[in-house]
């Protein structure tokens, strides 16, 4: 009941307050009510006692003393906030204020006259101190998003507390005496300690001050920056200008108001009027806070809310300038009284929430303490100096410009506020263009020419590739030696370089390589020779057409067609070879066709995309064609009523390989027609094509609306389904559809707004902690225009903030989901409609037999440990590649020792896992077996024999590899499964103890040798690139990817015996070994030894879990450290990286499993 009232009154149904959040908001509201009630009682008591003992002429000087006291309090608050967390700072402030009030209450009994001005000044300063401490603490309890939604509730409590405080003061003063109210004030303030204690459980421990990590090998955390706050927090200068100018305007306007009252009313009328004015103003502000303030903030954002009070004051000040009458003065004063402690205070406090915790207290003390009251003091001095010298209206010459400056300063606040929010989010490392200007040519030449064993052939090759891209660097003088002495892999690269340069003088150096023993080298020599050959030398190429090696034949075909003009017979021969029964022949034909880039070959290349084992080669071949040629062919395909499914699926990947501005309109058109997953791929390409000014913004807006409505429909449909076996696959399909659709939505938003910001927002909504998610939501709210906010924000809140959609899903919603969804969602929705004939929507088609089988297989796979949490849409692709086979009882399905070429799913019956004639495991319907050999391509570790008549689903190595390469999510999940198995074996003691070397004691910190200057110097980008080439899993990355990776990685060094990672600690990075070796151990038991080129620490990143083992350097080791964010940004963009990780994990698991077999562990 209470929750519903709070939600309806203060949030207008925009959010549902649940659980801990409701408790926090309620406690904060009651706490602030108490603070404001105590503030009114305390300040009223101090004012009354002072005015009853001193002449009113002393007031102007007292205001100056108050300014000085508050400025001092603000400075002290700044200093203390750097040294203690927010909850302790509030506790200390409450204790100090409570003690001060008790002491002043005791001093009143002495009758000393000095106590009255001390109370007048001290109570005002103490009220400011407690308020600053409260809002600093609130920023630690609530995140920016929660604060924006609920600060109106808290502020309303403050307004109510002020009203109650006035009532309590007027009621109790005659009963107990004014002086006794001091103890009432003290009791109320000290009771705030209870609220702090209850709320401390919600205090964000990440904001507590912790010493930097200085453990060996780890980068020391940066100290909190000191110095100019305005440079550290750019938004602070705008807040300071706004608060400072408004403070001056408020003080001068208040003087104008009171002087106008004194001139217009008698003393008796004045008292009655002020009582009525403050009562009405309090009621108006309370109503405004409850019914308008939160709505204004959430619907229109920061800037309109911030403008309310200064614009009202500015308008009334201008009006008073021309018409200095009582009515205008009342409006001028009322605009301050109604808004100062409602909307204006709410927005002002929101500005501090994204400020880093260690700077928040300093910023608040500076602005709210020093600047606010300092400028009030300046205004007080102005009044003392000018009151008798200028007319009352002349003060408007000061207030109007001040308020105008405040209004102008408000507009840049939104941009800085959003940037501040984004600064709190986890960042994603971007792919960078390789800045070749920073590379060191002499270093690369040295590596390229180094023939010693210390430099590998791959390092020399990469050095040559980098040098070839350097502008202004000539490689001519190095080529002869490289052709003569370099390893074949580098000679091939040199020949390609010579072919591109087309320098005839190099023909004599190429000719000897036409007879090289290495077939790949000889084939490239033929192609390069063709580039320089004349008609008299054509016979050399024609003779190669009859060479028994296919590589040589294709090199000759390429050379003749490329450099000697079209030959229809050769083209026909190449087209025939593109459809040869041998995959190896087709691979060579595809490579040749790609280099020729003749449009007549396009239909043949498109056909090869349907071949699971040749997709990669077909895509590589298509990348060599001009984009205009590709677009013509693709456009014709998409214009057909029923576009080829394979070409539709690969459109984004084909175009994305060489996308430019010409592809933009085509991709927009394709996006509108495509199902969800294909839209996702197209959206990724569109983001890469983004220019400063978006093209066809109207069409983009339409696509964005399409995507939002699709996600909206998915959320509405999902809430209609309850967990049940009949709806499990449908709910899973809807959840996956929503996730992909939300990804598409943010990609389209990146075309409207700043791409980097949209990517950061989505990244934090998906994987950030609660505070980062809330700040991401708030940042998105601020970015969106009013029209887009109304469209997008309800869907985003429903997805990431767990707010329910109010409207039910009707038949139109289900039909729209069916029309725009992926094939798997269509299958699931069709199944649902047929399973329940009373369902609101009925499919017009029946399920095919193939779809029935797929549903059954996916149901099995969802119940297996390996794939249970993988989306059904991906499992459906796995199921579609499975062939079925019936096996008789006693038949061996897998034989120990043979090479594994398939994975099996037991659809019916039972099987035994047998090793050396011993049954290790009994498997039943729905279980997987044989998958390990697909991961690492090793011999089968056990036999699997049918224990009854069985039916199995089988997927072969080629199909599995194709699925693995084409679906990064599937590959990630496979890696995670292997990682969990390894972790489980580590924890249960699987695997034998390694005979480890003696490990030296960890040297004391003081006794370590300080590295010399060369060792301490940071490696150049070139050196870091060459280091990364040594790590196997990075070998396939492009130069631009490697450059970005090198920028983000750190090279770290460990001495023999030093611990690199500890068991149980948070896994926030993985490591690649550049030089040296390490030992992996758990509870003193050695698990593995790793050497140059190996990686470790990836398991904790894949599972997002603590470290499963301790890793120690066996000898001095150089490592490359890759953070978790960098890992997910770059390492997983290239499919070869994750498959390399899978192979390494599988090999490790197989070794551990084999070692555990003798102990009776399960073996698969």
- A 10 A CB-CB count for 1159 gives 11
CA distance 861 to 686: 34
Q: What is the pLDDT of residue 734?
A: 92
**Residue 923 near residue 893, CB atoms below 8 Å:** no
Distances (CA, A) of 1044 to 429, 434, 497, 721, 1039: 8, 8, 25, 45, 9
pLDDT of res. 1022: 63
For 345-359, the three-class secondary structure string (H helix, E strand, C coil) is HHHHHHCCCCCCHHH
On whether the CB atoms of residues 467 and 444 are closer than 8 A, the answer is yes
In CATH, which of 1.10.357.10, 1.10.150.310, 2.60.120.370, 2.60.120.10 is domain 849-966? 2.60.120.10
Q: How far apart are CA 624 and CA 626, in angstroms?
A: 7
Superfamily classification of domain 1-199: MFS general substrate transporter like domains (1.20.1250.20)
Cα–Cα dist 1102/1124, whole Å: 9
Residue 13 CA: distances (Å) to CA of 18, 298, 1038: 13, 11, 50
**Domains 1-199 and 992-999+1011-1157 fall in the same CATH topology:** no
Report domain extents, the chain.
Answer: 1-199, 230-424, 696-847, 849-966, 992-999+1011-1157
46-101 pLDDT, tens digit each: 777 776 777 655 665 776 787 788 788 878 887 787 778 888 888 888 999 889 98
DSSP 2-38: HHHHHHHHHHTTSS---HHHHHHHHHHHHHHHHHHHH
Structure tokens at 1016: 């301490």
| 105 vs 43: CA distance, rounded Å | 14
Give the CA count within 13 Å in the CB-facing half-sphere of 843. Answer: 19
| 902 membership: H or E segment, kind and range | strand 902-908
Instruction: Give the pLDDT score at 553.
Output: 92
Write down how long the chain is.
Answer: 1164
Contact in structure between 841 and 751 (CB atoms under 8 Å) = no
What is d(CA 1055, CA 2) in angstroms, rounded to the nearest whole number? 62
- SS3 label, residue 899: strand
Q: What is the pLDDT of residue 330?
A: 84
Look at residue 357 in the predicted model and tell me its pLDDT: 65
Distance CA 1127, CA 1041 (A): 12
What integer pLDDT is reported at residue 129 of this predicted model?
85
One DSSP character per residue, 715-766 reads HHHHHH----TTTHHHHHHHHHHHHHHHHHHHHHHHHHS-HHHHHHHHHHHH
Nearest-10 crossing angle of helices 872-880, 968-988: 100
- Are the C-beta atoms of 479 and 494 separated by less than 8 Å? yes
Quote the pLDDT of residue 912: 92
Kind and range of the H or E run holding 76: helix 59-81
Residue among 768, 752, 748 nearest 760 (CA) = 768
- 458 CB-side CA count, 13 A: 12
Contact (Cβ atoms closer than 8 angstroms) between residue 1120 and residue 1031: yes
Q: Other CB atoms closer than 10 Å to residue 1051's CB: what's the count?
A: 16
What distances in angstroms separate CA 208 from CA 85, 88, 200, one per listed residue? Answer: 5, 10, 12
pLDDT beneath 50, residues of the chain: 1-15, 203-225, 271, 275, 428-439, 991-1018, 1160-1164
CATH of 230-424, one of 1.20.1250.20, 3.40.50.2300, 3.40.50.300, 1.20.930.40: 1.20.1250.20
> What CATH class is the domain 992-999+1011-1157?
mainly beta
* 554: number of Cβ within 10 Å: 26
């Amino acid at each position: 009941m209470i929750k519903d009232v709070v939600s309806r009154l203060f949030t207008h149904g925009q959010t549902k307050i649940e659980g801990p959040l409701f408790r926090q908001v309620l406690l904060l509201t009651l706490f602030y009510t108490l603070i404001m009630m105590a503030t009114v009682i305390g300040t009223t008591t101090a004012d009354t006692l002072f005015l009853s003992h001193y002449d009113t002429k002393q007031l102007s000087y007292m205001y100056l003393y108050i300014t000085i006291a508050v400025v001092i309090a603000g400075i002290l608050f700044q200093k203390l906030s750097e040294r203690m967390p927010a909850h302790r700072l509030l506790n200390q402030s409450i204790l100090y204020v409570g003690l001060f009030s008790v002491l002043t209450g005791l001093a009143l009994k002495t009758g000393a006259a000095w106590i009255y001005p001390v109370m007048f000044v001290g109570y005002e300063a103490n009220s400011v101190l407690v308020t600053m401490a409260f809002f600093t603490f609130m920023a630690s309890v609530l995140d920016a998003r929660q604060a924006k939604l609920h600060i109106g509730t808290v502020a309303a409590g403050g307004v109510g507390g002020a009203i109650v405080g006035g009532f309590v003061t007027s009621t109790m003063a005659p009963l107990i005496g004014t002086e006794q109210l001091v103890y009432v004030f003290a009791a109320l303030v000290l009771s705030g300690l209870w609220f702090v204690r209850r709320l401390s459980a919600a205090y964000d421990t990440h904001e507590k001050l912790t010493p930097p990590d200085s453990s060996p090998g780890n980068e020391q955390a940066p100290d909190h920056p000191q110095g100019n706050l305005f440079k550290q927090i750019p938004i602070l200068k705008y807040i300071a200008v706004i608060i400072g100018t408004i403070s001056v305007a408020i003080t001068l306007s208040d003087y104008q108001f009171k002087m106008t009252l004194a001139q217009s009313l008698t003393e008796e009328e004045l008292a009655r009027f002020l009582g009525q004015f403050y009562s009405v103003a309090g009621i108006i502000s309370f109503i405004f806070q409850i019914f308008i303030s939160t709505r204004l903030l959430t619907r229109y954002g920061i800037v309109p809310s911030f403008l309310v009070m200064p614009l009202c004051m500015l308008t009334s000040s201008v009006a008073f300038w021309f018409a200095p009458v009582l009515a205008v003065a009342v409006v001028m004063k009322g605009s301050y009284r109604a808004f100062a402690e409602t909307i204006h205070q709410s927005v002002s406090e929101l500005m501090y929430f994204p400020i880093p915790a260690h700077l928040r207290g300093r910023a608040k003390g500076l602005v709210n303490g020093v600047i606010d009251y300092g400028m009030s003091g300046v205004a007080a001095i102005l009044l003392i100096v000018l009151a008798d010298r200028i007319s009352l209206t002349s003060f408007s010459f000061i207030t109007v410009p001040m308020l105008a400056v405040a209004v102008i300063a408000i507009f840049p606040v939104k941009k800085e506020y959003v940037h501040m929010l984004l600064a709190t989010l986890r960042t994603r490392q971007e792919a960078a263009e390789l800045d070749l200007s920073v590379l060191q040519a002499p270093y690369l030449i040295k590596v390229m020419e180094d023939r010693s064993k210390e430099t590998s052939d791959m390092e020399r090759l990469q050095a040559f590739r980098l040098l070839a891209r350097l502008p202004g660097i000539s490689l001519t003088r190095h080529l002869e030696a490289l052709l003569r002495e370099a390893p074949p892999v580098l000679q091939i690269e040199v020949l390609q370089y010579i072919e591109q340069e087309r320098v005839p003088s190099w023909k004599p150096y190429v000719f000897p390589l036409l007879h090289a023993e290495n077939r790949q080298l000889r084939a490239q020599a033929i192609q390069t020779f063709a580039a320089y050959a004349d008609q008299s030398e054509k016979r050399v190429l024609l003779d190669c057409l009859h060479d028994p090696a296919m590589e040589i034949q294709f090199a000759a075909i390429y050379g003749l067609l490329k450099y000697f003009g079209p030959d229809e017979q050769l083209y026909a021969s190449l087209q025939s070879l593109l459809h040869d029964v041998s995959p190896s022949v087709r691979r060579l034909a595809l490579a040749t066709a790609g280099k020729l880039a003749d449009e007549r070959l396009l239909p043949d290349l498109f056909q090869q995309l349907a071949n699971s084992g040749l997709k990669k080669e077909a895509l590589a071949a298509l990348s060599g064609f001009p984009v205009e040629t590709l677009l013509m062919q693709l456009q014709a395909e998409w214009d057909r009523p029923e576009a080829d499914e394979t070409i539709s699926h690969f459109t984004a990947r084909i175009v994305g390989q060489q996308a430019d501005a010409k592809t933009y309109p085509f991709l927009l058109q394709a996006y509108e027609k495509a199902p969800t997953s294909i839209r996702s791929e197209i959206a990724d390409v569109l983001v890469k094509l983004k220019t400063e000014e978006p093209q066809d913004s109207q069409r983009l807006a339409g696509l964005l609306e399409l995507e939002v409505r699709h996600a909206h429909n998915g959320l509405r449909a999902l809430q209609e389904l309850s967990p049940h076996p009949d709806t499990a696959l449908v709910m899973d399909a809807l959840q996956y559809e929503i996730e992909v659709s939300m990804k598409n939505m943010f990609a389209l938003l990146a075309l409207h707004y700043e791409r980097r910001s949209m990517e950061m927002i989505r990244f934090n909504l998906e994987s950030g902690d609660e505070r980062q998610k809330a700040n991401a939501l708030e940042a998105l709210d601020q970015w969106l225009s009013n029209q887009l906010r109304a469209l997008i924000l309800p869907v985003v809140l429903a997805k990431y903030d767990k707010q329910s959609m109010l409207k039910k899903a009707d038949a139109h919603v289900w039909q729209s989901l069916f029309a725009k969804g992926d094939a798997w969602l269509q299958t699931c929705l069709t199944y649902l409609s047929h399973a329940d004939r009373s369902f609101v929507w009925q499919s017009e088609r029946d399920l095919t037999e193939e779809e029935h089988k797929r549903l059954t297989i996916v149901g099995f796979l969802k119940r297996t440990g390996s794939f249970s949490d993988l989306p059904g849409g991906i499992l459906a692709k796995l199921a579609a590649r499975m062939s079925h086979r019936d096996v008789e009882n006693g038949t061996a399905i897998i034989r120990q020792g043979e090479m594994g070429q398939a994975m099996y799913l037991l659809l019916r019956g039972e099987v035994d896992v047998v090793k050396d004639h011993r049954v290790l495991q009994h498997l039943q319907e729905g279980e997987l077996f044989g998958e390990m050999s697909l991961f690492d391509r090793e011999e089968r570790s056990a036999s699997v024999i049918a224990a009854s008549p069985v039916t199995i689903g089988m997927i072969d190595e080629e199909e599995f590899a194709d699925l693995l390469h084409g679906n990064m999510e599937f590959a990630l999940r496979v890696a995670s499964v292997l990682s969990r198995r390894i972790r489980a074996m580590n924890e249960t003691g699987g695997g034998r103890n390694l005979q480890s070397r003696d490990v030296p004691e960890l040297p004391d910190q003081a006794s370590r040798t300080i590295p010399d200057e060369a060792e301490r110097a940071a490696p150049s980008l070139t050196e870091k690139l060459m280091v990364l080439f040594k790590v196997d899993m990075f070998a396939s990355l492009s130069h631009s990817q490697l450059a970005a990776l090198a920028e983000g990685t750190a090279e770290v060094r460990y001495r023999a015996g030093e611990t690199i990672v500890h068991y149980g600690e948070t896994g926030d990075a993985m490591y690649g070994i550049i030089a040296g070796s390490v030992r992996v151990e758990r509870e003193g038991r050695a698990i593995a030894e790793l050497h140059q080129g190996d990686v470790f620490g990836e398991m904790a990143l894949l599972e997002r879990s603590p470290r499963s083992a301790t890793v120690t350097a066996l000898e001095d080791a150089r490592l490359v450290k890759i953070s978790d964010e960098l890992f997910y940004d770059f390492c997983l963009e290239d499919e070869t990286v994750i498959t390399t990780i899978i192979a390494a994990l599988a090999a490790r698991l197989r070794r551990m499993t084999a070692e555990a077999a003798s102990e009776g562990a399960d073996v698969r």
